[in-house]
Structure 1
Amino acid sequence: MIVSKSFQRSEPRACLVMAFVLLLGGTNSAKADSMLDTLQLHGFLSQALVITDRNNFFGPSSSGSGSLKYTEIGANASIRPHQDVLIAAQVLSRRAGGDGSDANPVLDYGLVDYQMVSNQQRTFGVQLGRSKYPFGFYNQTRDVAFTRPSILLPQSIYFDRTRSLALSGDGLTIYMDQRVPTGNLRAQIGFGDPQTGDDLRRTLRLDMVPGSLDPERSTIGQIRYEHDGGKIVAAISAANANARFDSSLPGLSNGDFYFKPWVLSLQYNEENWSLTTEYARRNSGLENFNNPAFNFDVTGESWYVQYTRRFNEDWQWLVRYDNLISNRDDRSGSAYEASGAGPAHSQYAEDYTLGLQWNVNPRVMLAAEYHHVDGTGWLPIQDNPDPAETRRRWNMLLFQLSLRF
């Protein structure tokens, strides 16, 4: 999140911070009052109903009544103790299928933002704390339904089944925003430790192995250009995320996980419609285990193209094609299936999506969307523990109510 000194109203995603109370103690009454004038508080709530004809997504969605286990609740705040300093954070409770254990409130982000330069031509600053990663177009605001073009983001790039790894990290971020004659050029690079939650362990099939998966120093960066007031937006994002698995299983050594994706993003905007496409290549693997069955190295590929149309001021519809390949050297998954690792369709997914959103008023939004999917490459493992029981072709309906204040 980047906010200039002249920014008078925080974005819905900009944040809760408890630390400002401590800062008030060192100021006089006038300064404290002035500081409190900059305090911004926001919150949001989203509840979805997920219905599938086969397979499960975010709970027992293939049951007759569908699943209500997709809920997002967040509270955030921000304050400026000084014109050059922003303190911001957000607490998030998110339930997405499984046993609901992930619904415990967690610190989504919490940071101190210091701007060393901020004028009409340039903004330059640093952030310290837990920051949202600048990954593609939507990662930094993906938790707020009002900032998403659809109920689900393209799952080939914005994985929900391993969202913790790509979502945020603890460390230092440096950013710059340069105004140029034709638009804005933004650059951001972060250094720190990513989040390595249970979702990543499940995906790596390490959840049944005694031990701990701990983050190691990682980097992520993005360069973004907005032309003619945002009519054309282009960005390139890259990361090098790492983690260490400390094994407690006798006979199994420790191992290392790496994830090296890059994403190319492009968007064209007109008054009533937008065309968006993103392409990603992802190299990931496990190495250094003394048991070769645990080690692997694969390069996956993802892309989507999306058209959104705004009409009658408060309505928007969307059509999208989304494609995921887990291994570029085995696009059909046939070699994966022949090895006995699982069904071929677990290695890819083609998703055809239709969506509709209605902003009832600035605080209430209703949305619905339909997905026809060939493949199960992004199905949540916690809702489908046995890949052999999943079906290749399946359909999904989602309905969502979203509120914000």
Structure 2
Amino acid sequence: MKSFPAIFVFFFSSLVARHCLAEDAFSWHGFLSQGISQSIDSDFIHEDDEISFDLTELGINMRYDMNASLAVVGQAVYLNGGNRYERGARIDYLFVDWRLPDMENWTANINLGRFKSPHWLYSATRDVPQTRSTIILPQSIYFDNFRDVALGSDGVLLQLYRSSDEGNLKINWSYGSSPMSSYQTKALLGEFAQGELKQDYAHQFSVFWQPPSLDWQLGASWLDSDFTYHPSANENLFEGGRTVRLYTLSAVYYAENWEFNAELQRNHSRDFGGYSPAFFDENKGEGGYAQIRYMLNSQFTLTLGYDMYVSDRNDRDGEKLEAATGGVIPAYFGYEKTATVGVQWDPRPNWRIQAEHHWVNGAGRLTSIPGPQNTPDTAEYWRMWAVQVMYWF
């Protein structure tokens, strides 16, 4: 599903279908973006403080309506984000969208296949550059190392929507799993991991509500997921696994010229095995962000944001983490706090230039499980910036 042949087949079949299928049944869109970025005193984007052109996003998506209630939807992309996620082509999603018969004021859709997650504010739009508020999203919620896992799953998604005089209610439920690449395995267990990491399942539920005025929205979601690691015969790691529970609250407020959004998340994770047969680690972390966007005019938008994450609510300054590892893992790997300033400029329709700067204290979101084999070269205080040019059609 992630190979270049697969993406070429997807692109080719989309273009052929555009000419062969009925115009009113088939639609397709795409985007191209290129940028430049740098992480200073950190290898979050690139090593050695290098200015990098590893900020490429190319994609094409399509929808074919077979009839009034059944459609095929998909997207293929090529990504290069430096160290943030795996470089290369992949099928982000490819599913059958089945609209069920309406029930009073309720509409319902079932997605079967590699569906796209709708459970967080940006989970359904993080794959398209021009729909994001910032180039690099808040890492407390949108952890780039696991971008492909969080974007969607292979399985089933049920979406229910109800509109009434009292407001709009949306309910989502999904169950599935995502394939884990060697890149994600190394991000979790360290660069020397050679075995197979498998996501056993991801079970998610979310609900969003808007009043009739549509000027604000509240949401809540829950995730339950298990992972299993099977080591290779010639490595020093052992059978292991991880369980994860995520609880997320969100809020959005819209005004004429500005917008406020925030998400708060608590997580409960258990890690066992892997580094040794007796290894066990349990953490109850939390994080979240708040962001304000102000539209100066039809072309310019300013963004201010603050993002915070701690891996253990009982060790907010990371001192216990450093003491438990004999100083091998610095305390600042237990948290991460980021202030962000950004600007968007839309000089012409379907064109955008976006720029931003992040000031960061801590390194808690560079790796999933800090360990002797999994501690990037990052200072306690570091920063990063990015500029990206986008075009969509």
Question: What TM-score does the superposition give when structure 2 sets the normalisation length?
Answer: 0.88
Displacement of 1:99 in angstroms is 11
Q: 2:380 is aligned with what amino acid?
A: R
d(CA) in 1 for partners of 2:351 and 2:15? 31
Runs of 4+ residues deviating >6 angstroms? 16-24
Residue 115 (structure 1) aligned to one of 95, 99, 102: 99
Displacement of 1:257 in angstroms is 1.9
* Cα RMSD, aligned residues only: 2.8
2:136 is matched with 152
2:150 counterpart of 1:166: yes
Residue 338 (structure 2) aligned to one of 320, 342, 351: 351
Q: Name the SS of the counterpart of 1:141 in structure 2.
A: coil
Distance 1:364 1:99, change over 3 A: closer
1:17-166 alignment runs, 5 A limit = 35-60=22-47, 62-63=49-50, 66-98=51-83, 102-118=86-102, 121-166=105-150
More displaced 10-residue stretch of structure 1: 254-263 or 362-371? 254-263
2:192 counterpart of 1:205: no
1:306-360 CA distance string (max 9 Å, x none): 1110121121101111111111121111111112241111111111111100112
Q: Name the SS of the counterpart of 2:46 in structure 1.
A: coil
Q: Name the SS of the counterpart of 1:69 in structure 2.
A: coil
Q: Report if the CA contact (8 A) 1:17-1:89 is conserved.
A: no
Q: Name the SS of the counterpart of 1:337 in structure 2.
A: helix
Residue 271 (structure 2) aligned to one of 271, 283, 286: 286
Distance 1:52 1:208, change over 3 A: closer
2:375 is matched with 387
Q: 1:94 is aligned with what amino acid?
A: L
Displacement of 1:386 in angstroms is 7.0
1:315 is matched with 300
Displacement of 1:120 in angstroms is 8.3
1:236-275 alignment runs, 5 A limit = 236-249=220-233, 254-275=239-260
d(CA) in 1 for partners of 2:47 and 2:14? 42
2:212 counterpart of 1:228: yes
Aligned residues: 376
Distance 1:294 1:208, change over 3 A: farther
Percentage of pairs with the same residue: 27
Displacement of 1:388 in angstroms is 6.8
1:153-176 CA distance string (max 9 Å, x none): 111111112223322100011111
Q: 1:397 is aligned with what amino acid?
A: W
1:52-111 CA distance string (max 9 Å, x none): 331133224713xx11112111111101010001210000111121499x3321110000
1:324-403 alignment runs, 5 A limit = 324-340=309-325, 341-379=328-366, 387=375, 389-403=377-391
d(CA) in 2 for partners of 1:361 and 1:261? 40
2:261 counterpart of 1:276: yes
Displacement of 1:253 in angstroms is 5.0
More displaced 10-residue stretch of structure 1: 70-79 or 112-121? 112-121
Q: Name the SS of the counterpart of 2:43 in structure 1.
A: coil
1:214 is matched with 198
Q: Report if the CA contact (8 A) 2:139-2:365 is conserved.
A: yes
Distance 1:359 1:195, change over 3 A: farther
Q: Which runs of no fewer than 5 residues in structure 1 stay unpaired?
A: 1-15, 25-31
Q: Name the SS of the counterpart of 1:112 in structure 2.
A: strand
Distance 1:313 1:120, change over 3 A: farther
d(CA) in 1 for partners of 2:360 and 2:154? 35
1:102-154 CA distance string (max 9 Å, x none): 33211100000111124883211211000122232001110111111111111
Distance 1:85 1:17, change over 3 A: farther
Q: Which runs of no fewer than 5 residues in structure 2 stay unpaired?
A: 1-9
1:179-218 CA distance string (max 9 Å, x none): 1213210011111113423343233225523421122132
Distance 1:298 1:203, change over 3 A: farther
More displaced 10-residue stretch of structure 1: 338-347 or 136-145? 338-347
Distance 1:218 1:162, change over 3 A: closer
Q: 2:231 is aligned with what amino acid?
A: S
1:337-392 CA distance string (max 9 Å, x none): 112241111111111111100112221100111111111122369xxx87374211
Distance 1:132 1:93, change over 3 A: same
Q: 2:342 is aligned with what amino acid?
A: G
1:7 is matched with none
Q: Name the SS of the counterpart of 1:239 in structure 2.
A: strand
Q: Report if the CA contact (8 A) 1:126-1:175 is conserved.
A: yes
Q: 2:390 is aligned with what amino acid?
A: S
1:5 is matched with none
d(CA) in 2 for partners of 1:59 and 1:360? 30
More displaced 10-residue stretch of structure 1: 75-84 or 201-210? 201-210
d(CA) in 2 for partners of 1:96 and 1:328? 30
2:284 counterpart of 1:296: no
1:28 is matched with none
d(CA) in 2 for partners of 1:188 and 1:339? 40
d(CA) in 2 for partners of 1:380 and 1:252? 18
Displacement of 1:292 in angstroms is 4.6
2:170 is matched with 186
